[in-house]
Amino acid sequence: MKKFIALTLCLLMVVSCFVGCGKKEEEAVDLVVWTGYEEGTPTYDVVNEMIAKFEEERGVNLEVVHYGRDLATILGTALEAGERVDVFPLGSQQQLAANVEYTMDITDYITGSDMLDRAYPIHMKTIMEYGGNEGRYHAIPTVSSFNSFWYNKAAFEAAGITETPETIEEFEAVCDALVAAGYAPMALDAAYAVSTFAPLLERYCGQEAVQAMMYEGGFAENEGFVKACQKIIDWKAAGYYDANSPSEWPASQNKIGLTQENVMVFTGAWLPGEIEKMTGADLEWGCFKFPYEPTGLGTYSTTCSCTCNCINVNCENPDLAWEYLYYMCTGEVDKAITDAEGYLVNDRTMEPAPTFTEAKVMLENTTEVMDYSAGLHANADIKTSVNDVIVGLYAGNYATGEEAAAAFEALVIG
């Protein structure tokens, strides 16, 4: 009987040992990190390499799950269910606003570091605003996304253009010089029609006026709106756009790389890398903000967003979580990741890739952010019809600015 009891105790000790080891292994995960990186991409490999260095240098164990594009659909459910996700990204400041209750206030970490000196002020400003808590921060930025004119520097040089334009008048002079040199100044695919028309409207009308007109009408009576429409008509007649525009994406933009007949395109920060992948062209890129109109009502702002890296409000190891975020979003680590992605470095104390030299200056001097559509999509009920009218404007369907304005009026008033 004694032998039986002894054997039983031994077995219990062995079982307890295995159970205990299992618990220790589970508890050994210091942070659970979710990302949106895609397996098989250069960025994915660089990120994993940097995470491995962090684990080795700090002596910690991170459970990292790369969900790729599926992250956006999975994350919300996981946060709502209280699943352990210590560190996670949100795709924009708007997504931060929608999920801020799940994010930790990390203001003290940020102000206790040099993060405000490293991050672009416009990103920190919008993160604060969308966090809904004045003076407080619930994320740090990565992956800058902003719209601007991207141009082939070689074509500018061939046309004798030495400076980028700041006003509409200067922009037209640039286009005239490019036309005289045998270029079609602007590429335009239908996919970018709204985002290209939006800043022109913002310059002449101001975004709030555009938003109001999308519900109340009054397009023809708005002098700025008519002028903006007329500019598109005049620019098309002057040969400022590719002859086949608006084309189906990416036919027009690809000419910048394939034939170099087109020189500029107004779109997001992904454009240089996209054209390089699609066409194999290795161009020297420049960048400038959509020009302003001195007589207009706009703010000379641009569309600007960023991925927001957050710490879960329920994270039990926030010091380590902050250390991880800071490590991944600053210095040589940040530069290695953003260079692999083909984006502007997030840490502005670091030298950007040559493609983004001018973009860095532009973003540092951006103080206001406009909506992607400058209010053109304020009325969701007519969004598709608005897009059709804008594409038609670029296609030459309207003879005058007044006629184009009347087409918009018909959508709202009927």
Domains and CATH numbers, the chain: 31-146+304-354 (3.40.190.10), 148-301+379-413 (3.40.190.10)
For residue 250, CA distances in Å to 35, 146, 411 come to 29, 19, 29
d(CA 255, CA 270): 16
Q: Which of 47, 82, 95, 53 lies closest to 68 in space, CA to CA? A: 47
d(CA 333, CA 328): 6
Bridge partners (DSSP) listed for residue 89: 309
DSSP 3-state of 266: strand
Q: Look-up: residue for tokens 């970018």?
A: 192
Bridge partners (DSSP) listed for residue 266: 149
d(CA 239, CA 157): 20
For residue 192, CA distances in Å to 178, 222, 245, 248, 262 come to 21, 24, 11, 10, 15
Single-letter residue type at 331:
G
Q: Which of 110, 65, 75, 79 lies closest to 313 in space, CA to CA? A: 79
pTM of the model: 0.88
Bridge partners (DSSP) listed for residue 64: 33
Max Cα distance, the chain (Å): 105
- pLDDT, residue 11, reads 41
The number of C-alpha atoms within 13 Å of 321 and in the hemisphere containing its C-beta is 27
Q: Is 47 exposed, middle or buried (0-12, 13-18, 19+ CB in 10 A)?
A: buried
Bridge partners (DSSP) listed for residue 206: none
| H-helix or E-strand spanning residue 280 | none
> Two tokens at 194?
């709204």
Omega before residue 199 within 30° of 0, cis: no
- pLDDT, residue 26, reads 54
Q: Look-up: residue for tokens 């079982």?
A: 15
For residue 172, CA distances in Å to 175, 186, 195, 295, 354 come to 5, 11, 19, 16, 27
Determine the distance from the C-alpha atom of residue 333 to the mean position of all C-alpha atoms in its chain, rounded to a whole number: 20
Omega before residue 250 within 30° of 0, cis: yes
Per-residue tens of pLDDT for the chain, all 414 residues = 444 444 443 444 443 444 444 433 455 899 999 999 999 999 999 999 999 999 999 999 999 999 999 998 999 999 999 999 999 999 999 999 999 999 999 999 999 999 999 999 999 999 999 998 788 999 999 999 999 999 999 999 999 999 999 999 999 999 999 999 999 999 999 999 999 999 999 999 999 999 999 999 999 999 999 999 999 999 999 999 999 999 999 999 999 999 999 999 999 999 999 999 999 999 999 999 999 999 999 988 999 999 999 999 999 999 999 999 999 999 999 999 999 999 999 999 999 999 999 999 999 999 999 999 999 999 999 999 999 999 999 999 999 999 999 999 999 986
Residue 184's φ and ψ, nearest 5 degrees, are -95, 110
- pLDDT, residue 134, reads 82
